[in-house]
Structure 1
Amino acid sequence: MDMQSVGEAFIRPGQMLTDRSALSAASRWTSAVSEADGVCVIHLSPGADPCEVAAELRDQGVRASPNHVFRGQPLFFGGPASRPFPAPPIRYKPGQTRSDVVIGLLDTGVAEHPWWSGNDWYEQLGPDDTDAAEGAQAGHGTFIAGLLARRAPGAALRVRRVLDGDGFGDEATVVRALHRMRERPPHVLNLSFGGHTFDDRPPPLLSDALAALSDTVTVACAGNTASDRPFWPAALAGAVGVAAVDASQEHRAPYSGHGTWVDACARGDWLTSSFLRGGEFAGFAAWSGTSFATAVVAGAIADAARDEPTKEVVSRLLGSEEARQIPDLGVLVPASL
């Protein structure tokens, strides 16, 4: 993916996001515009800086931002990579548990696997939503789907591929996928990716798109940055930001993002789940990252939502006086996988 680094954030060069109402305000910097699903990507004239243009437009009250690049979070920026490792088959039988809860999964897609063979939600996937076959994060979505399936038995997944096989996607792609979910919003939305913004402020188009899913609980990873710098979309006020604790579920995983903007945490180290089949992998893997802690929390919320409204589940979970609170990591959600 073509991108450049700006203040430890990544953006698509020469691109800016806005909506149709702002096109006239940005016209003097505009070379071309591509519009789809309510999002306008402005291709800037040579020499125009997306960050500077976005800042100037925001000063005029316009909703605009550079087209930020996001990435799945099983990798530790600046440190050793946590790649997936082959794991023996996991004894798990989907069973006959029924649930009306729908979990939205925006990721690398989901590949065929025995755990969901014959499930209606998987049969409805098109070729654009199947998992990438190659890349450093191929299988990321399939791994998360398995965590969700085991933590929230019977829940249906609504899958959209927004990341490539290396785990990269951009804000425009994510916002457009969110807009397409408005007609049938999921109860819970799992976003195991993210990134920093050029000015550490909330990305307005992404914030608006998530706010439009007003009945959906968004659960997003705090990032594998080992810092307290806000990581988006997890740091949005309307999202449940999830950090990772180690296998003991006592301490912060050393790679995990943390801070006052984090709401919950769960085990992120050495989780095992469904994976691609091929090479040394026989359909199962062990992997670490805040990506996977996020799925543990999203699955716990979805499972409880079988019996009560999703928003009430989150209020109870985050506001419980009995739950263990870890400073800068929020409420601990025990992993039962």
Structure 2
Amino acid sequence: MELESVGASFIRTGQVLIDRSAMSAAARWTQAVSEADGVCVVHLAAGADPCEVTAELRDQGLRASPNHVLRGQPLFFGGPASRPFPAEPVPFKRRRSASGVVIGLLDTGVAKHPWWSGSEWYARLAPEQADATEGSQAGHGTFIAGLLARAAPGAELRVERVLDGDGLTDEATVVRALHRMRQRPPHVLNLSFGCHSFDDRPPPLLTDAIRALDDTVTVACAGNTGSDQPFWPAALPYVVGVAAVDATLGRRAPYSAHGTWVDACAPGDWLTSSYLDTADFGGYATWSGTSFATALVTAAIADGAAEAPAREVAERLLEARDAEQIADLGVLVRGNL
């Protein structure tokens, strides 16, 4: 993936995202266009700057964005959120009765594991949705799937692989996956990845794709940046942005992002879940990060959605008068592991 940094963000070199309404306006910078699933990727002519082109198109009232690079959120500079550690097996008996609630999981995919052996949702999983086996974040999706399965045991997972083994994807890939979800929208959607934008404003094509899932509660990680800079899509006002607290359940985990745009927090340190079955790992790992705190909040909403609409459950969770509030981290969700 050829990319470049712009401030704290990363973008695909020479690419801008637009919708069809901006095609003619973008023509003078266009070398080629690829269109699929509701978004057009403009491959710019030599010398055209994606951020400058985006600014000009937006000045005309058009929807445009550089093709931002989004990342899964273990840290790249060390610490407990940087990588998984081997763990002993954890017993878990899957609930036989299904709740009818569907959780969408966009991530690195999901690997075979005893926790969901024989489940209908895993039997339907296409081979291309299997978890990555190589890369710094291989197993990320399997780890999250285990947290969801344990904390919302009656829910069905609907998995789509959008991150590679190093936890990288781009905005176009995510927008297209979200567009395809409109055919069968999940009740709750877990997005344990994100990005800073080049101008600290919400990326419009990503924003539109999430808003189009009207009845889906989208839950996204606040990021392991340790800063208060908005992280997208978590910082969108209609997305539940999730930070991580440490084992005290009263303090921010040092790596966790924070700010007024964060809606909820959950335990993120040293969680144990399902993982790849490799030479170093026997199918279980311990890992830390806002990615995994996000899964606990997703599961709490999905578990409640067996009895009430998911959006109503999310509103009660975030607005309850007796909810524990932590400054710049939102409502504390303790999780159910």
- Cα RMSD of the aligned pairs, angstroms, is 0.9
Matches within 5 A, 1:73-84: 73-75=73-75, 78=77, 80=79, 82-84=82-84
Q: Would you say the 8 A contact 2:300–2:336 is kept in 1? A: no
| Pair 1:2–1:219, CA change in 2 (3 A) | same
The DSSP-based 3-state class of the residue aligned with 1:24 is helix
1:45 and 2:45 are equivalent in the alignment: yes
Letter of the aligned partner of 2:192 in structure 1? S
| Residue in 1 that maps onto 2:103 | 103
TM-score (norm 1): 0.98
Structure 1, 27-36 or 120-129: larger mean CA deviation: 120-129
Structure 1, 115-124 or 262-271: larger mean CA deviation: 115-124
Per-residue CA shift, 1:285-314, capped at 9, x if unaligned? 000000000000000000000001111101
Q: Distance in 2 between matches of 1:7 and 1:191?
A: 23
Matches within 5 A, 1:172-321: 172-321=172-321
Matches within 5 A, 1:7-156: 7-75=7-75, 78=77, 80=79, 82-156=82-156
Q: Distance in 2 between matches of 1:200 and 1:283?
A: 39
Letter of the aligned partner of 1:124 in structure 2? R
Post-superposition offset of 1:335: 2.2
Q: Distance in 2 between matches of 1:258 and 1:120?
A: 38
Percent sequence identity is 73
Per-residue CA shift, 1:204-259, capped at 9, x if unaligned? 00000000000000000000000000000000111000000012211000000000
Q: Distance in 2 between matches of 1:52 and 1:312?
A: 41
| Residue in 2 that maps onto 1:325 | 325
Q: Gapped runs of 5+ residues in structure 1?
A: none
Q: Would you say the 8 A contact 2:39–2:176 is kept in 1? A: yes
Per-residue CA shift, 1:149-170, capped at 9, x if unaligned? 0110110011010000000000
Post-superposition offset of 1:98: 2.2
The DSSP-based 3-state class of the residue aligned with 1:253 is coil
Post-superposition offset of 1:321: 1.0
Q: Distance in 2 between matches of 1:336 and 1:178?
A: 28
Letter of the aligned partner of 1:262 in structure 2? V
Q: Distance in 1 between matches of 2:250 and 2:89?
A: 27
Q: Would you say the 8 A contact 2:144–2:292 is kept in 1? A: yes
Letter of the aligned partner of 2:43 in structure 1? H
Letter of the aligned partner of 1:292 in structure 2? F
Q: Distance in 2 between matches of 1:79 and 1:111?
A: 25
Q: Distance in 2 between matches of 1:170 and 1:128?
A: 18
Letter of the aligned partner of 1:277 in structure 2? D
Q: Distance in 1 between matches of 2:198 and 2:95?
A: 46
Post-superposition offset of 1:319: 0.5
The DSSP-based 3-state class of the residue aligned with 2:70 is strand
Q: Distance in 1 between matches of 2:313 and 2:335?
A: 17
TM-score (norm 2): 0.98
1:336 and 2:336 are equivalent in the alignment: yes
Letter of the aligned partner of 1:83 in structure 2? R
The DSSP-based 3-state class of the residue aligned with 1:133 is coil
The DSSP-based 3-state class of the residue aligned with 1:83 is coil
Q: Distance in 1 between matches of 2:295 and 2:135?
A: 21
Letter of the aligned partner of 2:207 in structure 1? S
